Homo-oligomer: A and B are copies of this chain.
């Protein structure tokens, strides 16, 4: 791990008795350089194993073809896919991505953002952490002249570009599907209500009940059940109620739904016969559980692509919209066996 100093444009210039500016122009395909010298410079650069220093270049040029992405965790299918979608577009445009994980911690999120701001990225794309409270750090991004695009979990009150899911209507659709299948007492596993997405999903649930003249039963609504383990505990408690639910909508995640399923299996409760189960996110495992899980696909890769396109659209003066646009993507209810007791599949 020693440092055999890297070649710079000065080294190339010196070797060829040229001015560094000419080298720079040659390397940047400037038109004001003769073909012969350009070739010569390129060849020499190759020989000296020259690699550009983008820090110097960016510093001088005052901009940076780099976009920062901050997500709670990259090992969740949803986020990994959004990132894949973003990358698909940015890669083609020659932009680079810096991916950071907040690990669901606001403190960490702030650190990530600081790093990205210090790096002077051109844009920060973020889905906020679970314990998100204040949005000062997000405001600050804009004050630094850096574009900000929020997705999925967004701070509503903050005026930025946003790409979100229509959580409410999809949640409503899911619950109405359960009702259509004849489920009467539908329990709801809810996520942290400081996050917009979970508020919306709950709103959809409540709306569906109201719309169908069904009562809201407080004891069937369980807070913060968004891991497999928490989902399992919640389910145990629910099923031990004097009047247990006949369906559980794990609006937090498929992992929670998995916990529900595990407990049902353990207690010998048949799914979907005695208990309907619906998850959220369309994680890959939902296709292979027994029974397969009804869930909601968020079109994550499309979301990613949309986000990146939005950025480039605003970057380009000819396509710019100007005011902060909000794109709402319609998720899709994926009906599988865990909620089908009419056997219509």
Contacts and interface: CB of A to CB of B under 8 A. Distances in A.
Given A74-B74, A144-B6, A288-B285, A119 B49 contact: no
Nearest to A62: B3
Nearest to A284: B285
A97 B100 contact: yes
Shortest beta-carbon contacts, A-B, top 9: A75-B80, A285-B285, A54-B118, A99-B99, A3-B145, A290-B290, A55-B55, A55-B59, A1-B147
Interface in A202-253: none
A173 interface: no
Interface in A74-105: 74-75, 77, 80-81, 83-84, 87, 91, 96-101
29 contacts: A3-B145, A5-B145, A6-B145, A49-B140, A55-B58, A55-B59, A55-B120, A56-B59, A59-B59, A74-B74, A74-B80, A74-B99, A75-B77, A75-B81, A75-B84, A84-B101, A87-B101, A91-B108, A96-B98, A97-B99, A97-B100, A99-B99, A258-B288, A285-B285, A285-B288, A288-B288, A289-B289, A289-B290, A290-B290
Interface of A: 1-6, 49, 51-56, 58-59, 64, 73-75, 77, 80-81, 83-84, 87, 91, 96-101, 108, 114-115, 117-120, 140, 143-145, 147, 258, 261-262, 284-285, 288-290, 314-315
Nearest to A108: B91
A4 B146 CA distance: 10
B145 A2 contact: yes
A84 B75 CA distance: 9
Contacts of A285: 284-285, 288
Contacts of A4: 143, 145
A163 to B, nearest CB: 16
A2 B317 CA distance: 12
A88 to B, nearest CB: 9
A95 B115 CA distance: 10
A23 B101 CA distance: 32
A301 to B, nearest CB: 10
A53 B118 contact: yes
A6 B117 CA distance: 11
Chain B CB within 10 A, most for which of A54, A87, A108: A54
A261 B118 CA distance: 49
A124 to B, nearest CB: 12
B114 A51 contact: yes
Contacts of A58: 55
Contact of A120 (B49, B53, B64, B314): B53
A123 B235 CA distance: 47
Contact of A289 (B75, B100, B120, B288): B288
A64 B3 CA distance: 13
Contacts of A83: 74
A74 to B, nearest CB: 5
Nearest to A58: B55
A285 B293 CA distance: 13
Chain B CB within 10 A, most for which of A6, A74, A143, A314: A74
B118 A51 contact: yes
A108 B94 CA distance: 12
A114 B94 CA distance: 12
